[in-house]
Amino acid sequence: MANIQNNQGGYSKRAMDYFQNPKHVGEIENPDGTGKVGNPVCGDVMHIYIKVEDNKISEIRFKTFGCVAAISSSEALCVIAEGKPLDEAEKITNKDILGHLGWLPPVKMHCSILGAEGLHEAIKDYREKHKKA
């Protein structure tokens, strides 16, 4: 826990690392589901793209126009969600994202909500496109 609790300008070490070196930035060609959410507080926007295989999230990418907290939360979401069955991924909340990051400045808590909502939208989109007739 010490390695992620070590604050840097109010951000945990892990949050700064995710912001500076995100591994999941980008788009997926022909995604199975997409989600787009905006933060009403600041107007920032996040796009989530997922690929689904065997009912699991096999690949996930994000494009986020936002602050350090929004980008590190997007990366945390992808790390948590990748490989998870859809039913489990649907239950990911911003508390899980915050727990994974260790710490965000209190005024930035609202930014972490984007990640979970974006994923839920992408799963909903996938389910709508793959409804059995």
Indicate which residue of 111, 116, 119, 123 is catalytic. 111
Contact present, 100 and 76 (Cβ < 8 Å): yes
Q: Judged by CB under 6 A, does residue 16 bind ligand FES?
A: no
Min. distance of Cβ 27 from ligand FES in angstroms?
20
Q: Is residue 67 at the binding interface for ligand FES, with CB under 6 A as the rule?
A: yes
Angle at 117 between CA 72 and CA 74, to 5 degrees: 15
| Cβ–Cβ under 8 Å, residues 44 and 111 | yes
Instruction: Examine residue 39 and tell whether it contacts ligand FES (CB under 6 A).
Output: yes
Please give the Cα distance from 126 to 132 (Å, whole number). 12
Q: Which is nearer to ligand FES, 101 or 111 (CB)?
A: 111
- Is residue 66 part of the contact set for ligand FES (CB under 6 A)? yes
- We find the least distance from the C-beta atom of residue 116 to ligand FES, in angstroms, to be 13
Q: How many whole angstroms separate alpha carbon 9 and alpha carbon 13?
A: 10
Site for ligand FES contains 113 (CB under 6 A): no
- For residue 115, give the amino acid letter: G
How many Cβ atoms sit within 10 Å of the Cβ of residue 127? 14
Per-residue tokens: 72 = 């590190």
Say whether residue 117 binds ligand FES (CB under 6 A). no
Residues that bind ligand FES (CB under 6 A): 39, 42, 44, 66-67, 69-70, 108, 111
The residues annotated as belonging to the active site are 42, 111
